[in-house]
Amino acid sequence: TQLLEQSPQFLSIQEGENLTVYCNSSSVFSSLQWYRQEPGEGPVLLVTVVTGGEVKKLKRLTFQFGDARKDSSLHITAAQPGDTGLYLCAGYLTGSGNTGKLIFGQGTTLQVKP
């Protein structure tokens, strides 16, 4: 059972379209991070959201943390071919028994066609 459910797992769109990737869980996270991974490389952090309801913008990317800190979304406006890649959400679980554990979603493979 995946603790962090990411959807969709695959997305192929045309340049200029908008898209949203979702990351959902029944568990509460102290914070949630979004990473982007290129082929042959390790993931690179895009953003960290910490406060329930928090919204962060990074150029055409908008990240939101759910009020209950159980879910998050990534919205891309006017997608470009350079946005192509694997997007991963990852959350730090709360509780002393979970200290140090960072849980990843399955990832969303995004392809933006010119």
Q: In angstroms, what is the minimal distance from the CB of 82 to another protein?
A: 20
Residues 72, 90: Cα–Cα separation, whole Å: 10
Q: Interface with another protein includes 22 (CB under 8 A)?
A: no
Is there binding between residue 95 and another protein (CB under 8 A)?
A: yes
Nearer to another protein among residue 69 and residue 80 (C-beta)? 69
* Of residues 15 and 41, the one with the C-beta less far from another protein: 41
